[in-house]
Amino acid sequence: MTDERRAVRATLAATIVAGLVYLLAVPLLRPAQVAVATDVYYHAGTTLLAGGDPYAVTPPSHPTFHYIYPPLVLLAFVPHVLTGSPLGAYLLQTACNLVTAAVLAAVIVRAIEDAGVALARRDRLLVGGVVLGSIHSVPVLVMGQVNLQLALAIAVGARLLAGDRELRAGGTFALAGAVKLFPAVVGLWLLAQRSWRAVGAAVATGLGTIAAGLVVFGVGPTWTFFTEVVPGERQAEAFSGGLDPSAMFVTIRRPLAALAPDLSPDALAAVALVLLVPVVLASLRDLRTEVGRLVGLLATLLAALAYLPLEPFYYSLLYYPLLVVLYRLQPGRVRRLFLAGTLGLSAIISYPSVEQLLVVAPLPAETAATLEATARALFSIAQPPLVGVVLLFAGCVYWHHEHAARGSDAAEPTERPTTK
């Protein structure tokens, strides 16, 4: 193993180990998470086919969860309904996720090798292992989520754009945004590159999916989605006076709410935007090279994830730009920031889990109480992966600062082929 590849391999292996730990811990710490997403899809689809309101129904086994996607997306879950049971729906989604993970890993490996980076077999296995079994994928598999399909759409869209197929790229990106609206932020990245045809295709596709939803399901479900579901997903009131430490949201609004509890939710959102926009713009300075464009894509997606109240498993949407960049960067300060950030993203620990561990730990009561109070204070301010977010942002900004200052010749060392 060469020294320059060892750090990347160790980092990816660590994310896989974290995923395996999560898989083993789920039955003990979060058993209710198993199949929660597919239960929602199944009951929402069943209700829709029966002529009911998919947004008004909740699964009997998960009464606090409800369907939150646009109405047209329900058509993708009709096969889940046709399995005849929530278990059948979960097994079908699991099969889809496994196939999607394999395809996504192949796309990422191909992108790395097409750039002239030679991958050993263990590198390909690590990429596949991350996409299938890292800490960001295992929760998706456990819950039956659709995040891997969105990650694949982002990867395919980026590949199409790199191949100058702008119309297809824009349409592909829009499909990801049509499911969970926030991937539409990729449009900013397209605008920064002046990929006008891709932007046009994305807008047309996005509006087309909304129009199709109106035609197929009528005004009612679409109206409910935009006036009730989308505003509710902002989780604005949860930040009033500071976020509960048990909440798993990884967002910069969390420390802002803790440090300024008197700020209104709208003010917190505004401050978060003020902090994030300059970082994204600084990460879009030099888009002359493929690495620069991928770093810009990573920062753009990361900003959306850092702004919204989302759980850590959404970081699976970063697989394509992050993994390709990790293998294309040469050893140095920038890559160290990216590697440290990747490890930080994998430090997914919940406050309830810490509480449970302290209960069973052989510690004096006073020590356990002190540790519990400290953990509560820390988790009120930030989830551990937020440190990884900050480090990745630093890597993105630093890369563009260096290359914008040095000119296009600075891209050559970053993009030269590397050996096994």
Contact 221, 71 (CB under 8 A): yes
Answer yes or no: are the C-beta atoms of 318 and 396 closer than 8 Å. no
The pLDDT of residue 386 is 94
123 in any annotated domain: yes
Q: Are residues 256 and 390 in the same domain?
A: yes
pLDDT in tens, 101-143: 999 999 999 999 999 999 999 999 999 999 999 999 999 999 9
Instruction: Give the pLDDT of residue 61.
Output: 86
Quick check: is 323 in a domain?
yes
Distance in angstroms (rounded) separating the CA atoms of residues 232 and 58: 16
DSSP 3-state percent helix, strand, coil across the chain (nearest 5):
75, 0, 25
> 246: pLDDT confidence band, cut at 50, 70 and 90?
confident
Tell me which amino acid residue 186 is.
Answer: V
Exposure class string for 84-121: b at 16+ Cβ within 10 A, else e: eebebbbbbbbebbeebbebbbebbbebbeebebebee
Residues 128 and 68 grouped into a single domain: yes
pLDDT exceeds cutoff 80 at 354: yes
Residue 112 domain-assigned? yes
- Cα 410 from Cα 138, distance rounded (Å): 38
Same domain flag for 272 and 390: yes
Q: Looking at the structure, do residues 172 and 293 belong to the same domain, yes or no?
A: no
Whole-number pLDDT of residue 416: 38
Task: Kindly tell me if the per-residue pLDDT of 408 is higher than 70.
Answer: no
Together in a domain, 224 and 198: yes
Q: Which of 331, 305, 328 is nearest to 250 (CA)?
A: 305
State yes or no: pLDDT of 411 exceeds 80: no
Q: Which pLDDT score, from 0 to 100, does residue 407 have?
A: 64
Same domain, 258 and 158: no
Dihedral angle, C-alpha 85, 316, 251, 158, nearest 10 °: -120
Last residue of a domain, one of 233, 259, 286: 233
Length of the chain as a residue count: 420
* The predicted structure's pLDDT at residue 248: 84
Which of 233, 258, 289 terminates a domain? The answer is 233
Q: What pLDDT is stored for residue 169 in this prediction? A: 95
**pLDDT > 90: percent of the chain:** 65
Q: pTM of the entire structure?
A: 0.92
Q: How confident is the model at residue 266 (pLDDT cuts 50, 70, 90)?
A: confident
Nearest of 172, 122, 129 to residue 151 by alpha carbon: 172
Is 50 exceeded by the pLDDT of residue 222? Answer: yes
- Clarify whether residues 4 and 130 are in a common domain: yes
Q: Is residue 371 part of a domain?
A: no
Q: Confirm whether 361 is domain-assigned.
A: no
Whether residue 224 is predicted with pLDDT greater than 80 in this model: the reply is yes
Domain count, the chain: 3
Is 102 domain-assigned?
yes
Does residue 115 sit in the same domain as residue 4?
yes
pLDDT of residue 134: 95
Residue 366 inside a domain? The answer is: no
On the question of pLDDT at 1 being above 60, the answer is no
- When the pLDDT of each residue in the chain is averaged and rounded to a whole number, the result is 90
Supply the pLDDT for residue 351. Answer: 84
Degrees, nearest 5: CA angle 127-3-113: 40
Residues 158, 134, single domain; the answer is no
From residue 372, alpha-carbon distances to 68, 219, 337, 352, 383 in Å are 34, 50, 30, 10, 15
Res 267 pLDDT > 70: yes
Over range 365-385, report the average pLDDT. 87
Host domain of residue 243 = 239-348+383-420
Q: Mean pLDDT, to the nearest integer, of 183-210? A: 94
Q: Based on the domain organization, do 208 and 103 belong to the same domain?
A: no
**Domain end point (choices 181, 216, 233):** 233
Is there a single domain that holds both residue 13 and residue 52?
Answer: yes
In angstroms, the CA 187 to CA 178 distance is: 13
Q: Are residues 130 and 165 in the same domain?
A: no
Number of helices (H) and strands (E), helices first, in the chain? 21, 0
Quick check: 418 pLDDT over 70? no
In a domain, 252, yes or no: yes
pLDDT at residue 77 tops 90: yes
pLDDT of residue 3: 62
